[in-house]
Structure 1
Amino acid sequence: MGQLTLGDERIDQFRSDVNGDVIRSGDGAYDDARAVWNGMIDRYPTLIVRCRGTADVIRSVDFARENGLRVAIRGGGHNVAGTAVCDDGLVIDLSEMTGVRVNPDERKAWVQAGATWADVDHETQAFGLATPGGVVSDTGVAGLTLGGGIGHLRCKYGLTCDNLASVELVTANGEFLTASRDEHSELFWALRGGGGNFGVVTDFEFDLHPVGPDVATCFVFYPGDRAADCLQAYREYVSAAPDEVSTLTSLGTMPDENLFSEDVVDDLKIGFLGCYSGPASEGEGALAPLRELAEPIADVSGTVPYAEFQRTLDEDYPSGMRYYWKSLYLDGLSEPAIDRIRYWADTAPSPLATVDIWQLGGAIADVGVDESSFAGRHAPFLLGVEANWQDPERDDANVEWVRDCLADMRQFSDGSVYLNFPGFLEDNDELVQTTFGAAYERLVAVKDKYDPENRFDVNQNIKPST
């Protein structure tokens, strides 16, 4: 393997050059260090360096370049495609860099790249502030932000990347720089939606907004045989809903014995999860129609602390389970589209799988398409197809179901995808170009300038022209 060609002396020198731990095959910590959230990912890097600061990152990038090692970048959370680790390369692990600093007067937060959204919420909610994050609190800040970031506050405050004021990063040649609207502005444009293609981001500066500490929420479930009626009513609801409302709809069995009675726990269901980002007293009324679409089989809606709501789905995505997710931006929720969504949810090979519909629009669509590289502002909805299962013998069935569903649903889409729900890395060469469309060549130009040798390619890759 790669570490044999490096030699002990060279690795020992690298260990002395960084403050963080350098882990190689044979070390007691190696298997734990290479393991990632998605149990389908089983890769064997040459070295893993757990960086403790920017200096460690710079030295790690230099070491990889000097020794011809492929680089994977690991943040603080999880990525379904497993981009945090690679075979026979160097993993730059940022998960120990978790600092969050808040200036409540300026409504700004500075966040290190190993932090999760739980880390951010803990600090910002002390001041009744938030920035749009994800919908699972142990998601990493870095990956979500660089891929766009679709969370519970999106229709009011936009994507996570829309709230990014600046980043600090290390480029492929080991240079440390700041990117913002005023410095390295093309790089800053590319980082907001273009993923980890352009460098190792070490710190993020976010704009904050008044949110919480309590928010009105909706979390209600209906029988699967009412899914078509519910989705038609939902389509009308979101067309008139205020921007403070952001919702996510899921179809699947979702066999939660603590939530559902024995007579329906194994049946198909449709659930609506929503948050109102304004005053909780207003939000209860604004979300009420979602609780009246049919006779519910479970309703745990209510006013709760924002940070608690951010943790609502955490237990549904445990580390080590097997995951394969893909996505498509939908042109709308026509009756034929609803029929096919219902069909695919009903044929899922795992009871833990879901077909999800993410409401978009609002502040997402208010941002000009040329202001960032994020490619999904045009769509009213995002379709997410999530295969989640435990038995490795069911891998092929679950992956095939996701791919077949996406192939069918492309009739209701322009074919572009949300690159934080990408499937496997090898799925996406053509999809990356399709998704970015006219912006792709602009992204290539940024790649040519900051990573012309494609050192950072363990991602939804934008290949340099050379």
Structure 2
Amino acid sequence: MAVATSAEPAPTRRLEATAVAGLRRVLTGEVFGPADDGYDEHRRVWNGSIDRHPALVVRCRGVDDVRAALRFGRDQQLPIAVRSGGHSFPGLSTCEDGLLIDLRLMSGVRVDPDARTVGVQAGVLLGELDAATQEHGLAVPAGIVSHTGLTGLTLGGGIGWVQRKYGLTVDSLASADVVTADGSFVRAAEDENTDLFWGLRGGGGNFGIVTDFRFRLVPVGPQVMAGAAFWPIDQAASVLRRYRDWIAGCPDELMTLVVQRLAPPLPAVPTELVGRPVIAVAACYAGDVAEGERVLRPMREFGSPVLDLFGAKPFVAHQQMFDPSFRHGCWYYVRSCDVAELSDDVIDVVVEHGRRISSPVSSIALWQMGGAVARVGEDETAFNGRSTGFTFNINGNTVTADGFDEQRQWARDYWSALAPFHTGVYVNFLMEEGEDRVRAAYGGAKYERLRSLKRAYDPTNVFRMNQNIRPD
């Protein structure tokens, strides 16, 4: 991956002053060029290793702004990137010397507790959505880091803490409003533009700019039994084998992640544990708190845990548990793969490479799949891998540029060691890895269906700053 640095020059593309002035006049939002105060703030994204300089940043307040910005970008023949929360690992929510359409100002949330639905604008972050829906004991199944943008998460599929009970984020999606490449405004739902609705549920930002979603809500919380238990890394092999046995046949209410990392310097972590390599089982029980405590007890009591942070807590608090581990500005690199099962050979790889973690912000998360995710037909949505057993997210991260190359290589080596067991990959966990990897994320047949859809909605590939499905 080519990593942009702060030494890169400012944009060289010169936009016509009259054209920019015309755009400013028609917008209710904000426009920032390289000479404007605030440009440097608004061009930055979550991943600190990405330091790109758009020719123009347009912060939209509504659909008309989005359409005007898109028209401007096409007229000026600019590369176009679209940003919601800006949480793209490879920095695809920005661009060099192009137009950045920023949706963050579009942050409205409209909850209808009686109908159990919610309307959500495209700039909303998960924490903002949770805050609104949890007032009614309801939720959209979505993610594990509260400052993630809802739009990017949803368009890739959306895995999260209640997926085994209620499915992926796209499985709760009822409709989406979309501005397509030619500037048309369309609605996609099960009964309208059904081909586009299928593609939006996993196909990423390839087909247009989603400006608004409507989701069905599910009952969660507001209190859940959740948290994590930690063991020394030298107990990893026995912990993983116990974990494998424990989750066999577990109820759908239980969702777990296995985490390897150095114990973080957080208030709940004893000082003597900070910086030591650990393996953790994190979990959320989307059901009765007392029942959750009973289900979790056998894992929590196994071996000699050095820390147990499980307990009854607000769901919104649990949704923020990993926020300090993925803060803005750190340098992030990820490799990912799906595996069918947690076999002894896979466990051996996990044990071996987990011992090699040396950065305080590097980690792996092994996502338990199955449950409601697997009960949706593979062809019902563009998301691929419904029958996946586990999804690996291997993060080689650093706080600054120092040591980033070494951590990136650690993540690559870990991923390569798992190569004999790869069955696919979750598209939201891809870096810029090329067309073959995008195809692998969808499978050949589904990729070709998506390509046909791309030809219909974006034949000139206007929306290519994404895990791109080329129309040709």
Whether these two folds match at TM > 0.5 is yes
Instruction: Tell me by how many angstroms 1:288 deviates.
Output: 1.5
2:342 corresponding residue in structure 1: 333
1:27 corresponding residue in structure 2: 36
What secondary structure is seen at the aligned counterpart in 2 of 1:165?
A: strand
Amino acid at match of 1:234: Y
Amino acid at match of 1:120: L
Is residue 228–residue 310 contact of structure 2 (8 Å, CA) maintained in 1? yes
Is residue 341–residue 389 contact of structure 2 (8 Å, CA) maintained in 1? yes
TM-score, with length taken from structure 1: 0.97
Q: Give the Cα–Cα distance (whole angstroms) in 2 for the partners of residues 429 and 110 of structure 1.
A: 34
Given the alignment, which residue of 398, 423, 426 partners 1:418? 426
Q: Give the Cα–Cα distance (whole angstroms) in 2 for the partners of residues 184 and 258 of structure 1.
A: 50
Is residue 86–residue 93 contact of structure 2 (8 Å, CA) maintained in 1? no
Given the alignment, which residue of 440, 444, 452 partners 2:447? 440
1:459 corresponding residue in structure 2: 466
1:124 corresponding residue in structure 2: 133
Given the alignment, which residue of 431, 435, 451 partners 1:429? 435
Q: Give the Cα–Cα distance (whole angstroms) in 2 for the partners of residues 252 and 2 of structure 1.
A: 38
For residues 277-316 of structure 1, the aligned pairs below 5 Å read: 277-316=286-325
Q: Give the Cα–Cα distance (whole angstroms) in 1 for the partners of residues 245 and 27 of structure 2.
A: 56
Runs of 5+ consecutive residues of structure 2 not aligned to the other structure: 1-9
1:95 corresponding residue in structure 2: 104
Per-residue Cα deviation, 1:349-399 (whole angstroms, up to 9, x for no partner): 423211221000000000000000101212110111011212313222122
Per-residue Cα deviation, 1:243-277 (whole angstroms, up to 9, x for no partner): 00001110122333534434433322111111111
Given the alignment, which residue of 409, 412, 435 partners 2:418? 409
1:241 corresponding residue in structure 2: 250
User: Percent identity over the alignment?
Assistant: 43
Instruction: Tell me by how many angstroms 1:4 deviates.
Output: 4.9
Closer, same or farther: CA 255–310 of 1 in aligned 2, 3 Å: closer
Q: Give the Cα–Cα distance (whole angstroms) in 2 for the partners of residues 115 and 261 of structure 1.
A: 35
Amino acid at match of 1:325: V
Instruction: Tell me by how many angstroms 1:203 deviates.
Output: 0.5
For residues 6-405 of structure 1, the aligned pairs below 5 Å read: 6-256=15-265, 258-405=267-414
Per-residue Cα deviation, 1:394-448 (whole angstroms, up to 9, x for no partner): 222122221222122111112x21111112x2x2321011121120000001100
Q: Give the Cα–Cα distance (whole angstroms) in 1 for the partners of residues 460 and 412 of structure 2.
A: 32
Is residue 110–residue 205 contact of structure 1 (8 Å, CA) maintained in 2? yes
What secondary structure is seen at the aligned counterpart in 2 of 1:457?
A: coil
Is residue 277–residue 357 contact of structure 2 (8 Å, CA) maintained in 1? no
Per-residue Cα deviation, 1:155-174 (whole angstroms, up to 9, x for no partner): 00001111111100100000
What secondary structure is seen at the aligned counterpart in 2 of 1:6?
A: coil
What secondary structure is seen at the aligned counterpart in 1 of 2:202?
A: coil
Give the paired residue count.
Answer: 462
TM-score, with length taken from structure 2: 0.95
Q: Give the Cα–Cα distance (whole angstroms) in 2 for the partners of residues 270 and 290 of structure 1.
A: 13
What secondary structure is seen at the aligned counterpart in 1 of 2:429?
A: coil
Q: Give the Cα–Cα distance (whole angstroms) in 1 for the partners of residues 297 and 61 of structure 2.
A: 47
Q: Give the Cα–Cα distance (whole angstroms) in 1 for the partners of residues 276 and 222 of structure 2.
A: 35
2:3 corresponding residue in structure 1: none
Is 1:449 the equivalent of 2:459? no
Is residue 71–residue 455 contact of structure 1 (8 Å, CA) maintained in 2? yes
Is residue 361–residue 399 contact of structure 2 (8 Å, CA) maintained in 1? no
Q: Give the Cα–Cα distance (whole angstroms) in 1 for the partners of residues 269 and 114 of structure 2.
A: 44
Moved more, 383-392 or 176-185: 383-392
Amino acid at match of 2:275: D
Following TM superposition, where does structure 1 have runs of at least 4 consecutive aligned residues deviating by more than 6 angstroms?
Answer: none
Amino acid at match of 2:189: S
Q: Give the Cα–Cα distance (whole angstroms) in 2 for the partners of residues 201 and 411 of structure 1.
A: 37
Aligned residues: CA RMSD:
1.4
Instruction: Tell me by how many angstroms 1:76 deviates.
Output: 2.7
Per-residue Cα deviation, 1:142-164 (whole angstroms, up to 9, x for no partner): 01000111110000000111111
Amino acid at match of 1:38: N
Q: Give the Cα–Cα distance (whole angstroms) in 1 for the partners of residues 264 and 314 of structure 2.
A: 26
Per-residue Cα deviation, 1:101-139 (whole angstroms, up to 9, x for no partner): 011111100000000111111111111111101101111
Per-residue Cα deviation, 1:302-340 (whole angstroms, up to 9, x for no partner): 001111111111112111111111210012111111111
What secondary structure is seen at the aligned counterpart in 1 of 2:333?
A: strand
Moved more, 361-370 or 77-86: 77-86
What secondary structure is seen at the aligned counterpart in 1 of 2:256?
A: strand
Runs of 5+ consecutive residues of structure 1 not aligned to the other structure: none
Amino acid at match of 1:433: R
What secondary structure is seen at the aligned counterpart in 1 of 2:439?
A: helix
Q: Give the Cα–Cα distance (whole angstroms) in 1 for the partners of residues 118 and 346 of structure 2.
A: 40
2:7 corresponding residue in structure 1: none
Is residue 77–residue 138 contact of structure 1 (8 Å, CA) maintained in 2? no
Closer, same or farther: CA 462–292 of 1 in aligned 2, 3 Å: same
Amino acid at match of 1:418: Y
Q: Give the Cα–Cα distance (whole angstroms) in 1 for the partners of residues 269 and 108 of structure 2.
A: 39
Q: Give the Cα–Cα distance (whole angstroms) in 1 for the partners of residues 218 and 74 of structure 2.
A: 40
Is residue 206–residue 468 contact of structure 2 (8 Å, CA) maintained in 1? yes
Closer, same or farther: CA 428–378 of 1 in aligned 2, 3 Å: farther
Amino acid at match of 1:463: R
Instruction: Tell me by how many angstroms 1:278 deviates.
Output: 1.0
What secondary structure is seen at the aligned counterpart in 2 of 1:225?
A: helix
Q: Give the Cα–Cα distance (whole angstroms) in 2 for the partners of residues 158 and 392 of structure 1.
A: 37
Q: Give the Cα–Cα distance (whole angstroms) in 2 for the partners of residues 71 and 201 of structure 1.
A: 14
Moved more, 389-398 or 148-157: 389-398
